[in-house]
């Protein structure tokens, strides 16, 4: 609680002076009754007169105190904070072609990506995140959601595509992601596209798809995942040729004002997702509000009632003539 006009409270210092004045000089303003002798005035009568006088003066001083405090405008303060978060819509676009089984990332490229993606999701509190997976075709694994538990579970369920859907349709993946983000009202819309190959499937080429994404205000971060060696090994299948199209992935990020990253091992992959997390921070605006509840009415109303009570007391009980 505070007072809007606290200087009025200094008037309370006058209350002792008023009390002293009433005690010292108040009798001069009172009516007198002449008695032939003090013997006609009993001690009980004197005591009752003094009590009446004290009660009346106390009530009058109490009314003055209440009015002074009311003039100081006491008020109750409630502080509120309103937090506004500009949520970012993020799509994780993950390659699930058979080459993601290569073991140059421990235990495999796909498992390393899944573990890193889950760590990234856990850091994005409040953002809406979805998952698109692609091989020869593109599929939605999870629509945009803020439920990190659901996201984590669905990431665990990601596996490489069946042989009939094998391939790398980067353009189709971007188009699918754009279709998911284009109607978003979020201030920032981004894709994080990870691939370990080159576009060899799908009806839309990456260049056209990335231009469409740019037109919808979507920023794309691209990650080329895989060792720098010419060949990698898939357990049970043998060696595969590493044909990562870093040029195309870099062009996609350049067109959409994103950034291109090269991940040659799991540690590099973790660092890349951490950097993207730093680059794409949600804007948080905190506003402080102060609410005031005026309390002076709770002083003025009682002072009015006390004044009426005092008037009735003086006129009809104590029978004081004014």
Percent of the chain exceeding pLDDT 90 equals 44
Quote the DSSP letter at residue 41.
Answer: S
Reported as a single tens digit per residue, the pLDDT across 31-62 is: 445 445 555 555 665 566 667 777 888 888 88
Using alpha carbons, select from 248, 230, 247 the residue that is nearest to residue 239.
230
- Asked whether residue 267 falls in the same domain as residue 158, the answer is yes
Q: Which of 2-11, 49-58, 214-223, 261-270 has the lowest mean pLDDT?
A: 49-58
Side-chain-side CA neighbours of 91 within 13 Å: the count stands at: 31
pLDDT tens sequence across 119-164: 999 988 888 999 999 999 999 999 999 999 999 999 999 999 998 8
Q: Which range marks the domain in which residue 57 is found?
A: 2-78+291-317
Instruction: Tell me, yes or no, whether 112 and 74 share the same domain.
Output: no
pTM above 0.85, yes or no: no
Residue 286 domain-assigned? no
Identify whether residues 138 and 264 lie together within a single domain. yes
- For the segment 208-231, the average pLDDT, to the nearest whole number, is 92
Burial class of residue 194, CB neighbours in 10 A (0-12, 13-18, 19+)? buried
Indicate whether 299 and 275 sit together in one domain.
no
Q: Is residue 137 part of a domain?
A: yes
List phi, psi (to 5°) of 245.
-85, 75
Rounded to the nearest 10 degrees, how much is the dihedral formed by the CA atoms of 293, 294, 299, 304?
A: -120
pLDDT of 228 reads 81
- Region 15-30: mean pLDDT is 68
Same domain, 237 and 271: yes
Residues 312-317 have a mean pLDDT of: 76
226: domain CATH number is 3.40.50.410
How far is residue 246's CA from residue 266's CA, in Å, rounded to a whole number? 18
Question: Cβ(56)–Cβ(313) under 8 Å?
Answer: yes
Same domain, 68 and 7: yes
Mean pLDDT of 257-284: 87
Q: Are residues 156 and 263 in the same domain?
A: yes
Q: Give the separation between CA 15 and CA 22, rounded to whole angstroms.
A: 11
**For residue 296, is it within any domain?**
yes
Mean pLDDT of the chain: 85
- Shared domain for 223 and 98, answered yes or no, is yes
Cα–Cα distance, 171 to 214 (Å, whole number): 13
Residues 181 and 50 in one domain: no
Number of domains in the chain: 2
Using alpha carbons, select from 142, 160, 139, 140 the residue that is nearest to residue 152: 142
Q: Does position 298 have pLDDT exceeding 60, yes or no?
A: yes
Task: State the pLDDT at residue 293.
Answer: 82
Identify the weakest region by mean pLDDT among 1-10, 25-34, 150-159, 297-306: 25-34
Residue 112 and residue 99: Cα distance in Å, rounded? Answer: 13
Shared domain for 95 and 232, answered yes or no, is yes
Q: Does residue 322 form part of some domain?
A: no
Domain contains 260: yes
Q: For the residues 266-288, what does the mean pLDDT come to?
A: 80
User: Based on the domain organization, do 275 and 297 belong to the same domain?
Assistant: no
Q: Are 273 and 194 in contact (CB under 8 A)?
A: no
**CA gap 114, 156 in Å, rounded:** 7
Top pLDDT among 95 and 316 is at: 95
Which pLDDT does position 85 carry in this prediction? Answer: 67
**Structure-token pair, residue 81:** 């904070």
Residues 94 and 73 in one domain: no
Angle between helix 148-156 and 109-123 (nearest 10): 180
């Amino acid at each position: 609680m505070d007072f809007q006009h606290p200087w009025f409270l200094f008037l309370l210092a006058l209350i002792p002076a008023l009390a002293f004045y009433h005690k010292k000089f108040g009798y001069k303003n009172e009516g007198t009754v002449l008695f032939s002798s003090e013997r006609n005035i009993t001690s009980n009568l004197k005591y009752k007169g003094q009590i009446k006088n004290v009660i009346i003066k106390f009530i009058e001083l109490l009314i003055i105190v209440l009015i002074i405090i009311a003039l100081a405008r006491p008020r109750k303060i409630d502080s509120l904070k309103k937090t506004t978060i500009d949520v970012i819509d993020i799509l994780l676009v993950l390659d699930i072609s058979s080459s993601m089984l290569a073991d140059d990332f421990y235990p495999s490229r796909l498992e390393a990506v899944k573990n890193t993606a889950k760590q990234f999701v856990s850091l994005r509190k409040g953002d809406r995140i979805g998952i698109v997976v692609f091989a020869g075709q593109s599929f939605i694994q999870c629509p945009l959601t803020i439920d990190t538990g659901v996201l984590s579970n669905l990431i665990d369920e990601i596996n490489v595509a069946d042989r009939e859907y094998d391939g790398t349709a980067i353009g189709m993946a971007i188009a699918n992601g754009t279709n998911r983000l284009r109607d978003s009202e979020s201030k920032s819309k981004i894709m994080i596209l990870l691939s370990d190959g080159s576009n060899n499937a799908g009806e839309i080429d990456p260049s056209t798809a990335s231009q469409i994404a740019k037109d919808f205000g979507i920023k794309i971060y691209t990650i080329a995942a895989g060792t720098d060696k010419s060949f990698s090994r898939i357990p049970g299948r043998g060696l595969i040729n590493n044909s990562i199209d870093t040029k195309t992935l870099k062009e996609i990020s350049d067109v959409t004002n994103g950034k291109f990253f090269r991940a040659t091992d799991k540690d590099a992959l973790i660092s890349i997702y951490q950097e993207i997390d730093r680059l794409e921070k949600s804007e948080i605006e905190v506003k402080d509000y102060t609410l005031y509840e005026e309390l002076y009415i709770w002083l003025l109303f009682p002072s009015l009632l006390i004044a009426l009570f005092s008037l009735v007391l003086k006129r009809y009980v104590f029978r004081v003539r004014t």
